[in-house]
Amino acid sequence: MADSNEPVARPQTSVTRGVLLETLSALLKPGDFEDYGPNGLQVEGKPHVRKLVSGVTACEDLIDAAIAAQADALLVHHGLFWRGMDGTLTGWMKRRVQKLLAHDINLLAYHLPLDAHPQWGNNAQLGVRMGWGAGRPIKDRSLVFQAEVTYGSGLTLGADIARKLGRTPTVIDAGKPIRQLHWCTGGAQSYFQKAIDAGADAFVTGEISEPQAHLARECGVTFIAAGHHATERYGAPCVAQLVADELGLEHQFIEIDNPA
């Protein structure tokens, strides 16, 4: 699904913005999360939605593409507003917000709720994409998922990731077979210790920072950074298509490539 930029044709029906938000809220349960930014409606647009566009990040290129696609609403994983921002609308932020308002496009963003959904979220959908299955959290409400797999080494796992995600990952190979695989999409390198403590043979996430290479070597657990964008391409279009099917909307996923 996430590899196609072609819109999925639907009857020319529409729903209110409120119905769309209620449907997403019932599915993703954003109230259950203490997040780094607001989940749900970030920029208010037109009151009725016929066409829903999904993407990973609310960057200017995606907003331009949503305008060209005649979107009424844009659903993303990475929205515009994050904890610690100064709140001013200048420069790139002004341009993004200005374009959304000028074209009356609703911006909907779901961060941790979209990572955590056990069936349609980023973690689950990455697992499905890779052939690991949707997996399950290592403990209640954890964002780290786990599954039983069979790989001869971290290098073998890294090669499988490169083949299926179309990106060469950074692999710190512990040099042993992998049976217990843990993963968390995006910038979750700080969760590596949780995976080690939970008995992982390998941990897959999007990014690597300086400490993880040392921990991998010292603890004998493979660490793989497969790309923030590359690991988080699947939740937003999956959720958007599910909701579009339920509400009778037109949906289009638009990919804006990002090497990060």
The number of residues in the chain equals 260
Q: What is the mean pLDDT of the chain?
A: 96
Of the chain, the percentage scoring pLDDT greater than 70 comes to 95
Name the residue type at position 75.
Answer: L
**How many Cα atoms within 13 Å fall on the side-chain side of residue 148?**
0
More confident residue, 146 or 5: 146
Domain at 122-228, CATH class: alpha beta
Instruction: State the average pLDDT over residues 7-35.
Output: 89
Q: Which residue has the tokens 């077979």?
A: 177
| 255 carries a ligand binding annotation | no
Residue 87 carries which DSSP code? -
| Percentage of the chain exceeding pLDDT 90 | 95
Tell whether residue 250 is among the known ligand binding residues: no
Eight-class DSSP state of 32: G
Q: Which two tokens stand for residue 83?
A: 């904890």
CATH 3.40.50.800 fits 15-115+233-253, yes or no: no
Rounded Cα–Cα distance for residues 16 and 129 (Å)? 33
pLDDT digits (tens, 9 = 90+) for 191-245: 999 999 999 999 999 999 999 999 999 999 999 999 999 999 999 999 999 999 9
- Pairing state between β 73-78 and 51-57: parallel
pLDDT at res. 65: 98
Distances (CA, A) of 247 to 10, 24, 131, 234: 10, 11, 30, 20
Q: Which of 173, 205, 180 is nearest to 192 (CA)?
A: 205
229 in a labelled binding site: no
Q: Is 218 assigned to a binding site?
A: no
The answer to whether 232 is annotated as binding is yes
Fold match between domain 15-115+233-253 and domain 122-228: yes
- The domain limits of the chain are 15-115+233-253, 122-228
Phi, psi dihedral angles at 71 (to 5 degrees): -75, 145
3-state secondary structure 152-183: CCHHHHHHHHHHHHCCCCEEECCCCCEEEEEE
DSSP state, residue 207: -
With a CB cutoff of 8 Å and minimum separation 6, the contacts of 52 are 20, 71, 72, 73, 74, 75, 240, 243, 244, 249, 250, 251, 252
Query: For the segment 67-84, what is each residue's pLDDT rounded down to a tens digit?
Result: 999 999 999 999 999 999
